[in-house]
Every structure is written in structure tokens, then in C-alpha cells.
Amino acid sequence: MDVRVDMLVSNIWAIEEAKMDFTIDIYLRQYWEDPRLSFLGNEIQRTLTLNRQTIDEIWVPSTYFFNAKKAYFHDVTTDNYLLQIQPDGNIFYSVRLTVTMACKLNLQMFPHDVQTCTVMLESYGYQATDVFYKWNSRNSTGDVVYIAEDLEMPQFMITNVELEEKTNIYNIGPHSALVAKFTFHRRLGYYMIQTYIPSMLTVTISWFSFWISPDSPPARVGLGITTVLTMITISNSARAPLPKVSYTKAIDWFLLMCLVYVFGALMEYAIVNFYSCKVQYKKQKETRKAEQEFFAQESEKEESDGLFQNGSIKKSDSNGSYRVAVVIDSKNPFFPRAHLNKKHSKFRLARRFRQKETDELNESNSQHPKKRHHYFWDPYETAFMTSEPAYTVDKYARISFPVTFAVLNSIYWIVYAPDKVIF
């Protein structure tokens, strides 16, 4: 017996990548001829329409979906079945189904992928010598599997439907089968808004650190760590709905590229910091040398109660404690460090007297003079003395990072983007 089949696809639910399946809502229509059910028709009754109970009393092909995970019939407000018998014994049997079918997805090009999911049906209890399935071609191929005009999927677009008739060979014998291959083209708009544009903006923000002064470690380190954590968050959210496959997807390459660039911007400051620390270490050595020279000069020129100030000796009437501070370039604390290294550092001594109470001052007159304590203060001692190599690293990073990222980004879109991008 030949069983002709066509179907109306009323809806296709979103494809779930993690479960590798999709859900389809169809009206399955089957046609066959049973001479035992022929009857004498008249002008009034040309077609006999029967109810659900009659289906259990006549022969129907044992049709099932080969790749179905789960399915259910619709019964609101009554069972959604339709059975019509023509006077010559031709039977039209229609049923509404919602079926979740397995679909082997290849996600290597995700989210630029084009997926093909199949709907295959065959007879479970009859071999091909008993029941043979055919597509019911009435007018054209489009009438065999008709897709509702208002059907619209949120992330995919149906671009093609391919029909096939085949015979599956099992150990019990051959079984006739019908296959409908749906081609789904993924829409890229969602991933452009949620993944690609935020990732590229995060990479661009990480480049702002190249224009921040190397003498501001909190700003540059904070910006670098923030962009790295942002990229990790975007990567996790993009991979959350995807299965844990062993191969690398297209979006993985893009997110990895962005993560490398934001991490590279943070490492670039580590290189700048290395050069700055070298200069700072060199400056500390020069400061210690200046201290030694100052103490040597002071020991020669200092008198009993005098204080060396601005190149002259001045005696102090009081015997109070005081301290000497060495100030480097105090006139202009924002003096460029590159120029400061080239100039001779001039020492200027400042005196600060700490007056005591009257009783303590009288006691001090009878004692020996206290030893003077010298405190050397360099306003640039705790700051980074940025060198020319450090500025050179930033200078080249401002050009190399955007240029290489633009080149790699172009290569990515050329390799992975399909011929037609659908938003």
C-alpha cells in the first residue's frame, strides 16, 4: 500500500544548542486507499467524516518519527484528529502534533552557523513491501511541506526545505521513510548587541591606559583589571547556553582574541613599570650618594651651635632640637623628571625649630648640645621616575594594539562570516 504524506508546519520553537534538539508544531496529513471502506455515495453525502473513536476501528499506518525525543497530541477542546473517507475508499487522516526532535548541530561556525535539522518518519510495524511512503506532491514541492506565513523564529530564519524519500535497512528488513531537511540560518543581531560590540568596546577601553601617565599605577592597574574581568563575564555569558563540545567555536576565537588584548594591555603596563622601577632604583642610589656628600661637607663646616643654611654658617642661640631637610628642586615640584635627571641637584637646607617649655629650656642649658638629626626628603622618592624607554613602550602600544586588532578582526569576519549575514 502506498501512503502519501504532506504536512503543515505551524510553528518551530527555538533550537536549543545545549540539548541539541528543536520543537516543531505540525499538522501531519496522510492519504491512502482502503477498498474495504468504500461505500455508495450520493450527491448529498460525498465525503464521510468520522470521529476519534472510529480511528481505533480501522487500519492506519503505524507512522512514527524516527528522531523524536518526545511528542504529544493536542486535545483542547477536543482531540485534534480529522478522518475523512471518500466513496471509493480513499482516506484522509490528519492529526496535530508537537514533537521535540533531535538535531545534530555543528557549532564550529557558531554564531555564523547554518544548521540543517531533519524530520524523518517511517512505519514502525510494516516493512517497505507492505507500506511504502511517498510525498504527496499535489501542485509543487512547496505544497508538500507548507510553512505558515506568520512563522518567525527569534534566532533563525528558514532558508530552504529539502525533501527526500529513502529506505532504511534493518535486521528485520527494509522500511520506507520520508525525510524533510530544514535549513536554518542563524540571525546575528542578538550576538552583535550582546557579545561582539561589548567585547570590542571593552578592548578599546583597555587602550585608554596607554594615554594615562605611567606615574599613576592605581588608574592603569584598575582599568586593566576591570577590562579583564569584564571580558571574562562576557565570555561566560556567551558560552552559558552552549554545550560543552571538544572543538573550538568561532565565538571562542573572537572572545579569546579580545581577552588576549585586554590582558596584553595590562602586561604592557608591567613592562612600563619595570623601566620606571629601574629609574627609581637609580635615583635612590643618587640620593644616598648625595646624603653622604652632604654629611661630609657639613662635618667640615659645622660649628658648635651653628646651622648650615643656604651655604653659610649661622649660630643658634637656643639649644633646642632641630632637624635639617634636604629638598631637591623645591621651587617647582612638578618639574619634568626627564629634565631633572639631566640637571645638577642643588641642596637647600631648611631649619625647623621646635621650642620647648621654659623648664625644659633651662635644663638644656646645663647639658651638652644634642646631636642634630638630619632628614633627607626627596619629593620624587616615592613616585616613579618615568624614563624614555617607558614612554616609548606606551608610544608604540598606542599604534600596534589598534592596528593589529583591526587586522585580526578583519580576518575573523572574512573567515567565519557567511556570504550573507542575516540580522
Q: Is residue 63 part of a domain?
A: yes
CATH code: domain of residue 147: 2.70.170.10
Q: Please count the structural domains in the chain.
A: 2
- Give the number of other Cβ atoms within 10 Å of residue 270's Cβ: 11
Q: If 0-12 CB within 10 Å is exposed, 13-18 middle and 19+ buried, where does residue 298 land?
A: middle
Spatial separation of the C-alpha atoms in residues 372 and 382, rounded to whole Å: 25
Give yes or no: residues 170 and 227 share one domain: no
Mean pLDDT, rounded, of the chain: 79
At 55 the pLDDT is: 86
Give yes or no: residues 34 and 55 share one domain: yes
Cβ atoms of residues 365 and 336 within 8 Å: no
Reported residue count of the chain is: 423
Give yes or no: residues 34 and 164 share one domain: yes
Whether 336 shows a pLDDT value over 60: the answer reads no
Residue 117: in which H helix or E strand, if any? Answer: strand 114-123
Encode pLDDT of 124-134 as tens digits: 989 999 999 99
* Dihedral of alpha carbons 86, 88, 89, 91, sign: negative
Domain boundary among the residues 160, 186, 212 is at 186
Kindly indicate the confidence band of residue 68, based on its pLDDT and cuts at 50, 70 and 90.
Answer: very high
The C-alpha angle 127, 128, 132, rounded to 5 degrees, equals: 125
Grid cell, residue 54, equals 472510529
Whole-prediction pTM = 0.70
CATH code: domain of residue 251: 1.20.58.390
Encode pLDDT of 181-212 as tens digits: 999 999 999 999 999 999 999 999 999 999 98
Domain boundary among the residues 136, 155, 186 is at 186
Q: If 0-12 CB within 10 Å is exposed, 13-18 middle and 19+ buried, where does residue 301 land?
A: exposed
Spatial separation of the C-alpha atoms in residues 269 and 418, rounded to whole Å: 38
Range of the domain at 90: 2-186
